[in-house]
Chain A
Amino acid sequence: DIQMTQSPSSVSASVGDRVTITCRASQGIGSWLTWYQQKPGKAPKVLIYAASSLQSGVPSRFSGSGSGTDFTLTISSLQPEDFATYSCQQANSFPWTFGQGTKVDFK
């Protein structure tokens, strides 16, 4: 299985901050990388797919970049509703695997 490693595991930030989360794959996955946001008691929600494509309805302050093994999710200006856990997931090969998650909380 392809291992997905996120960093950091948690980040403390304030409203208006720029937040960057990275995800590294144990082998090349092209652009088969999705970013999710998850809030307590809810299923994950797609933010970015194909490494850099913004899912319909997702605010433009979210952006993704990268290819191969190294990927980044950036929140340009953190909003109150963005405090949540963010996970990456690869779809290069089955099983589609997830990173361990990054929790964004209040500083």
Chain B
Amino acid sequence: QVQLQQSGPGLVKPSQTLSLTCAISGDSVSSSSAAWNWIRQSPSRGLECLGRTYYRSKWYNDYAVSVKGRITINPDTSKNQFSLQLNSVTPEDTAIYYCARGGWGSGAFDIWGQGTMVIVSS
């Protein structure tokens, strides 16, 4: 079955870069039937979709306005994974970060990673 395995540090200093990776098994990052998303959850902001990457003859990225300019999501076809980089973090970026598969047909985030609690603190 499809599984997503997240990795990356749980503590990031203010003004530095948050970096997480999501390894995919049982599906392909190049799949035409899905987009690969990063979502975060915090008590103040709830569940928030940060952005996605997907392949439709070429690679596309979409980013939420709230993090645009600070975020990069990259696919890695050689390792069948995708990554999140969020620059210039502040304590407001403290949250649980999830990767998730978004199905074009269902409109649902149907497969989720295990989640990574990221704390922004010096």
Contact = CB atoms under 8 A, between A and B. Distances in A.
B116 to A, nearest CB: 11
Contact of B49 (A46, A49, A96, A101): A96
Contact of A89 (B108, B114, B115): B108
Contacts, number: 65
Contacts of B47: 44, 87, 89, 98, 101
Nearest to B107: A91
A95 B49 contact: yes
A91 B110 CA distance: 12
A87 B47 CA distance: 9
**Range of interface residues on chain B?**
20 to 34
Contacts of A49: 106-108, 110
Interface residues of A, number: 25
A18 to B, nearest CB: 25
Nearest to B99: A43
A106 interface: no
A43 B112 CA distance: 6
A46 B110 contact: yes
B46 A100 contact: yes
Interface string A63-94: 00000000000000000000000010111101
B64 A95 contact: yes
A96 B46 contact: no
A62 to B, nearest CB: 14
A87 B62 CA distance: 23
A43 B98 contact: yes
A70 to B, nearest CB: 17
Interface in B42-74: 46-52, 62, 64-65
Interface of A: 1, 32-34, 36, 43-44, 46, 49-50, 53, 55, 87, 89-92, 94-101
